[in-house]
Chains A and B, each alone.
Chain A
Amino acid sequence: MFRRAAFMASAAAVIGVAASAYADEPKRGGQLSAIINPEPPILMLGLNQQGPTQAVAGKIYQSLLTYDFDLNPMPSLAREWEVADDGLTYTFHLQEGVTWHDGEAFTAADAVFSLDEFLPETHPRWRQLYRNVASIDAPDDHTLVIELEEPFPAFIMAFETASAPMIPKHLYEGTDYRDNEWNQTPIGTGPFKFEEWNRGSSIHLVRNDDYWKDGKPYLDEIYFEVIPDAASRVTALETQRVHMSRGEDIEFFDVPRVAQLDHLEVTTQGWEMFAPHAWLEFNVREEPISDKRFRQAVMHAIDREFILNNIFFGSGNVATGPISSSTLFYDDNVPEYEYDPDRARELLDEMGLEPDGNGVRTELRLLPIPYGEAWDRLGEYVRQQLIEVGIQTDLEAADAGTWAERVANWDYDMTFNYLYQYGDPAIGVSRSYISDNIQRGTLFTNTMGYENEEVDRLFEEAAREIDPERRQELYTEVQQILVEEVPVGWLIELEFPTIYDVRFENLVTTAIGTNETYDDVYIAE
């Protein structure tokens, strides 16, 4: 839809790769070793949806759909689907001949169990979507019908592996889901079966010989290697001990160097569904942050181009507003915040925050997110930039536990965060800005405490609107309001690199990237 030229160019590059893939016949056999970091706590995708869990469990479990780079739905366990004109009825026609890893047949009853019983109890994101659901039925073994209470066009985006994984009914029905012994040896329908997990070391998946796509998968086995240290991870790629890294496995500054190695290739595709959006989060309950001029001043004090180039080493784009350019309904027609420290000082003067003898106008705390080097540098950079315009900033070091606790309980002035957008603003964007979602103790809600009735109304209306053009108008309006108000300081649309051994084909083919099933992956000679 509304995409950037640069993005199209990189898409073209990968299509080139795909074309060459068709040139020679995919070969059976071989093994893929991929980095996994941090180690997933558990591989049962219905119970845990952390990034590393998704990457591993995405080979074991499947969902109804997957999505191409432009976020168009594509078949997975559903071979066809229809959405009724009133936007209320979703009908999925399931693949035939699908079996679970233990040999039982996968039917629509499993799908009903997963979507109507298991996930509403365990899966926070599905639980949000499930609120729109009136009923889920299986008229026959291969048909699934979902009725919604009200139109919710974003619903079609909710069926990738991690959002709605299919769970085997015969193993879980009537059990305590979290205590079920099958959680340790997960059973799915995917092309790879769980074999062994050496905790702290590696996870071993093997080919599912009874996979429902004939002749697939091509690979015999996949190893996920746990390598906690960033420098060791780069070395592992360089020395060809592993074939693939994903997400933030490789620190951003290493990417340009590694990209030049002959045996490695880099792509930033495969994150369109998630569109990680990084921002500087303000606690707008606090003085003087509650004044939007202060937040605008902070935006002017920060050079986001510098952040992109020197901290994230070009892995992304400068964010223009709340919606990422790879998410649906993005609009770049919004106010801009140039890097202009003088303008920042003017705004602060205007607010009456005059500098004292030491040039200090006000004092604030900044709580950096403990997710690695780049985020540490980002904290140091922002701190220094704010000091330059007279905002004395104290960096508070925190580990993951402290950070999660404090942000969830609103005990911060400023922090960093990045959220996934899941394709549609109604799923991944509005949750951060609507006042309904101000919930103490819960991360990834409207933790900053931003309240604006107009914004609430626009997001609600857009979520229910079936006409895409009308939706676009509503989302454009809300983007303009939010960018003017700066409830958070949007920094970067992150593009996480997938770095892989050039011999491997089809590692990134869809909008969910390395979480894909990998039934198409093969080694070219």
Chain B
Amino acid sequence: MKEFWQRFARNRGAVVGLVILIGVIFLALFGPALYPESPWRMTAPPFQPPLEHPGAYFGTDTLGRDIAAGLVHGARVSMLVGLVSTTVALGIGVALGAMAGYFGGVVDNAIMRFVEFFQTIPSVVLAIVLVAVLQPSIESIVIAIAIVSWPPVARLVRGEFLSLRSREFVEAAVIAGQSNARIIFSQILPNTLSPIIVMASLMVATAILLESAISFLGLGDRNLMSWGYMIGAARTVLREAWWMSVFPGVAILLTVLSLNLVGEGLNDALNPRLARKGR
């Protein structure tokens, strides 16, 4: 563990990312205590630039709602959408991809047909259709994002498994009579972790971005203040009120950035050891 941390800490970007990420998570967990009032409340005159109106340090939006309150409450929504949908998508994708790549043959064929099935429908379009069919709400958005995000994971894991399946160390384990489950979990899966981690970090980001795209197209949850919603609502006043879209944009950017940096740090910390241990 100590060694892991040392490796992780060697990547300075990762440490910065971790600090930011902890900040965002802290905001998501305890932020609403800082701004206990609803972020939808109109607390100041509309269109106040940052630092203009006392109390509204980040400015106000078209109706006089405090951007800062929106940012704080939005952290929770965006993180929730990102994490929950990614977790679900990873679960489905890794399980199916591993089975396909490991067992090959009929199983692989069946699973890949299933994957293909989902991938032949453009994911953003499918997500939008799903949200429209299920009625726009936070739950339907999470479900839709998860449903469209798992196929790339399955493909990636399958590719890795296919490639690793014919390696000597796996052949050796098969000859040694290890069970399939044991080979999958202790031999192959650890070796696929780093690309999965990289991809997961990208996926959380994609989920947050996809949520904002859904809001942009007017299908977001109207009761929750999310960063995606804030940009969606601000995009038409881009020129009149830059702060309305810049701050939530920066919030998304920082969160996504931190996730990626942390993912890379993990990659650095995990990769060399595991790659060697497998052989």
Question: Is the CB of A396 closer than 8 A to any CB of chain B?
Answer: yes
Q: Is B171 an interface residue (CB 8 A)?
A: no
The answer, among A380, A401, A402, for a CB contact under 8 Å with B222, is A380
Q: Which residues of B contact A395 (CB under 8 A)?
A: 222-223
CB distance from B45 to the nearest CB of A (A): 9
Q: Does A96 contact B (CB under 8 A)?
A: no
A246 to B222, CA, bound (A): 28
B179 contacts the other chain (Cβ, under 8 Å)? no
> Among the listed stretches B16-24, B93-101, B232-240, which one makes contact with chain A, having 4 or more residues with CB under 8 Å of it?
B232-240
Asked if A230 and B223 sit within 8 Å, CB to CB, the answer is no
Decide: A397 near B62, CB < 8 A? Known: A251-B236, A253-B236, A254-B236. Answer: no
B125 close to A (CB within 8 Å) = no
Contact across chains for B238 and A377 when beta carbons are under 8 A apart: no
Q: Provide the residues of chain B in CB contact with A373, threshold 8 Å.
A: 233, 236
Asked if B64 contacts A310 (CB within 8 A), the reply is yes
- Inter-subunit contact B222/A399 (CB<8 Å): no
User: Which residues of the other chain, B, contact A251 by a CB distance below 8 angstroms?
Assistant: 236
Q: Which of A377, A396, A398, A401 contacts B62 (CB 8 A)?
A: A377
Bound-state Cα–Cα, A251 to B223, Å: 23
Report the nearest A residue to B238, measured CB to CB.
A231
Q: How many A-B contacts at CB < 8 Å in the complex? A: 65
A251 to B235 alpha-carbon distance, docked (Å): 12
Give the CA-CA distance A203 to B249 in the complex, in Å.
Answer: 37
With contact pairs A231-B238, A254-B236 given, residues A311 and B136 touching in the complex (Cβ less than 8 Å)? no
Shortest CB distance A481–B (Å): 34
Q: How far is it, in angstroms, between the C-alpha of A357 and the C-alpha of B222 when the chains are bound?
A: 25
**A384 B42 Cβ-Cβ under 8 A:** yes
Given A310-B62, A310-B63, A397-B135: A379 and B235 within 8 A (CB)?
no
CB atoms of B233 and A376 under 8 A apart = yes
- Kindly identify, within residues 354 to 400 of chain A, every residue whose CB is under 8 Å from any CB belonging to chain B: 368, 370, 373, 376-377, 379-381, 383-384, 387, 394-399
Are A396 and B236 closer than 8 Å at their CB atoms? no
Known contacts A253-B237, A254-B236, A397-B136; A381/B220 CB under 8 A: no
Q: Is the CB of B236 within 8 A of A397?
A: no
Tell me if B218 and A399 are in contact (CB < 8 A): yes
Q: Is the CB of B41 within 8 A of A384?
A: yes
Complex contacts, B40 vs chain A, CB 8 Å: 380, 383-384, 387
Are B221 and A397 in contact (CB-based, < 8 A)?
A: yes
Chain B residue numbers with a CB within 8 Å of A254 are 236, 240
Q: Are A399 and B132 in contact (CB under 8 A)?
A: yes
Indicate if B246 sits at the interface (CB-CB under 8 A): no
Produce 1/0 per residue, A100-112, CB < 8 A to B.
Answer: 0000000000000
Task: Give the shortest distance, in Å, between B87 (CB) and chain A (any CB).
Answer: 24
| A458-478 at interface with B (beta carbon < 8 Å) | none
Partner of A398, one of B42, B63, B135: B135
Q: Which residues of B contact A (CB under 8 A)?
A: 38, 40-42, 46, 62-64, 132, 135-137, 218-223, 233, 235-240
Query: Apart from A377-B63, A399-B132, what 19 extra A-B contacts exist at CB < 8 Å?
Result: A231-B236, A231-B238, A253-B62, A310-B46, A310-B62, A370-B218, A376-B218, A376-B222, A384-B40, A384-B41, A394-B223, A395-B222, A395-B223, A396-B135, A396-B222, A397-B137, A397-B220, A397-B221, A398-B135
Interface residues of A (CB under 8 A from B): 230-231, 251, 253-254, 257, 310-311, 368, 370, 373, 376-377, 379-381, 383-384, 387, 394-399, 401-402
- A sample of 26 cross-chain residue pairs with beta-carbon separation below 8 angstroms, ordered by A number, consists of A231-B235, A231-B236, A253-B62, A254-B240, A257-B239, A310-B62, A310-B63, A373-B233, A376-B218, A376-B222, A377-B63, A377-B233, A380-B63, A381-B63, A383-B40, A384-B40, A384-B41, A384-B42, A387-B40, A394-B223, A395-B222, A397-B135, A397-B136, A397-B137, A397-B218, A397-B219
